[in-house]
Structure 1
């Protein structure tokens, strides 16, 4: 669509630039840059908003596309919910799966358009989780579009993503493997695996721990960064791992698990993890098996279900549990100490 005179111009600059797209407006017969962008669609959104604010006009017959809606929704969603970096990366990946629909008017998209994308993903061998994330993104975009009064019907709940068939079901660590870890606490990284096995933390939660999140005097850890709202929680420090955490607290730097005085990245931790698993003859175990182990051992010990959920950072099972049941640190400590 040809844009009217005075609407401004978007150009792509040459060279290797982080923000190669520029929006320009004419002033005194010369084009002057207003803002720079990483993508064409971001520049077009800014251009449209700029003309609405400064000239009170819009492109005639303009219909918002899926791509434009996504780039409008994402900043608003980040401001409202502060999702983790991994969640934002997941949104971006799911958005790329919808590439064939990027420039289609959002209000004209139907169930068959979305289902065709998901069916193609399944035929390509992509996981149930990937399909689920795409459906989740569609749902979030439809809710945002509904707020903007672009659509009045949601297709996300109708989409079929098949059945979840785990490629490798999680399995708990055996007592023999846990004992082997205790026999090698002086080896690099062994203490981190034991910390996971006696707290139920996700590996990402552990890697984001700063020393200010650990209270040695009252013996608890505060999780302040997690993939879910329920993941923001307090975990008592089990007496067996207290010396391991205390030793980590006495090292230089702000991070509990550090690498060259910086936060240890997930990829680097995976290398450390594989070395530890090879040491104790447990090749094949994943970091999530630690959470599965904690859940299994607490179940076997007859732990209180609500306390177990609080420790693992799972959402409550029903309204009564979520709203009316409160578990103090003493009760959580009683639960975590059931781990032997």
Structure 2
């Protein structure tokens, strides 16, 4: 459908530009650029809003596409929930899987449109987790559409994503491999693996640590950035890794785990270091999450208090009494972590 006169237009500018899309209006026979955008969807949203505010003009027959709904929902969702960087990356990746539907009017989309996307993902060998994230995004968009009174449809709960079958089940590090790490403790990156194995931190939590999060006087680490609310916690420093933490505290830079330039590792760059360490101790095939699995397994084998173990690993308690009324102080948590040998 052709836009009416005076509605303005969107142009893609030539050259290598960070924001190549421009919203243009005509004034006195000349075109004037109002705003620049990184993508066409944002430009179209701005165009519609600009005409509503400045000209009280709504495009006849305009239907909100999936892309427009997504780009309207995301800023509102960020303002309401302040999601983590990993969550934002997950939304963007999930929306890419829905790209074949992005220009379809959202109100016209049906159950089978979404199910075909998920079925295609499963046939391509994508994980259960990836399918679940796409379904979750669809649910969030449908709730937002209901909130703005666009539609009350809710297909997300009906979507089938298959069963969660682990592609590579996690396995704990053997005592021999842990001993090999101690034998090579002076090699680059080995200390970081040992820190993971004696704290139970997620790798993202470790990479986000700053030196100000470490209390060497009282021997604990405060996790301030985590993927879950239960992940915000205190972890006592095991006596075996105290020298490793102390050495990291003396290095340049603000992050506790810093590269040679004193900067924080990205997840990708740390994975390169991880693979080098695994090759060094002949433990190829292990992932960073195996460290958490190792800590959980060793604490179970040592008869650790279940509540203390959950606090250390940052797992939410399933029981109301445990979540609300049970408090474990740092001394009890330290007793639990020291069960690791």
Q: Secondary structure of the equivalent of 2:200?
A: coil
**Could you tell me which residue of structure 2 aligns to residue 185 of structure 1?**
185
Inter-partner Cα distance in structure 2 for 1:202 and 1:210: 15
Quick check: 1:83–1:227 contact (8 Å CA) kept in 2? no
Q: Shift of the alpha carbon at 1:266?
A: 1.9
2:189 is aligned with 1:163: no
Higher mean C-alpha displacement, 146-155 vs 40-49: 146-155
Higher mean C-alpha displacement, 323-332 vs 304-313: 323-332
**Could you tell me which residue of structure 1 aligns to residue 212 of structure 2?**
212
**Could you tell me which residue of structure 1 aligns to residue 136 of structure 2?**
136
**Could you tell me which residue of structure 2 aligns to residue 253 of structure 1?**
253
Superposed, which structure 2 residues align to 1:289-300 within 5 Å?
289-300=290-301
Higher mean C-alpha displacement, 73-82 vs 256-265: 73-82
**Could you tell me which residue of structure 1 aligns to residue 279 of structure 2?**
278
Change (3 A) 1:197 1:126: same
2:305 is aligned with 1:304: yes
5+ residue gaps in structure 1?
none
Higher mean C-alpha displacement, 149-158 vs 242-251: 149-158
Inter-partner Cα distance in structure 1 for 2:325 and 2:52: 48
Q: Shift of the alpha carbon at 1:160?
A: 0.8
**Could you tell me which residue of structure 2 aligns to residue 97 of structure 1?**
97
Higher mean C-alpha displacement, 52-61 vs 187-196: 52-61
Write out per-residue CA displacement over residues 115-163 of structure 1, whole angstroms, 9 at most, x where no aligned residue: 1111111112222121111111111111111211222231111111111
Higher mean C-alpha displacement, 312-321 vs 284-293: 312-321
Q: Secondary structure of the equivalent of 2:234?
A: strand
Q: Shift of the alpha carbon at 1:192?
A: 0.5
Q: Secondary structure of the equivalent of 2:246?
A: helix
**Could you tell me which residue of structure 1 aligns to residue 329 of structure 2?**
328
Q: Secondary structure of the equivalent of 1:119?
A: helix
Write out per-residue CA displacement over residues 61-88 of structure 1, whole angstroms, 9 at most, x where no aligned residue: 2221111111111122222222222222
Q: Secondary structure of the equivalent of 1:54?
A: helix
Segments ≥4 residues shifted beyond 4 Å:
none
Q: RMSD in angstroms over aligned alpha carbons?
A: 1.6
Inter-partner Cα distance in structure 1 for 2:222 and 2:35: 41
Query: Structure 1 length normalisation: TM-score?
Result: 0.95
**Could you tell me which residue of structure 2 aligns to residue 223 of structure 1?**
223
Q: Shift of the alpha carbon at 1:236?
A: 1.4
Inter-partner Cα distance in structure 2 for 1:192 and 1:317: 31
Inter-partner Cα distance in structure 2 for 1:125 and 1:241: 40
Higher mean C-alpha displacement, 10-19 vs 179-188: 179-188
The number of aligned residues is 340
Inter-partner Cα distance in structure 2 for 1:83 and 1:16: 30
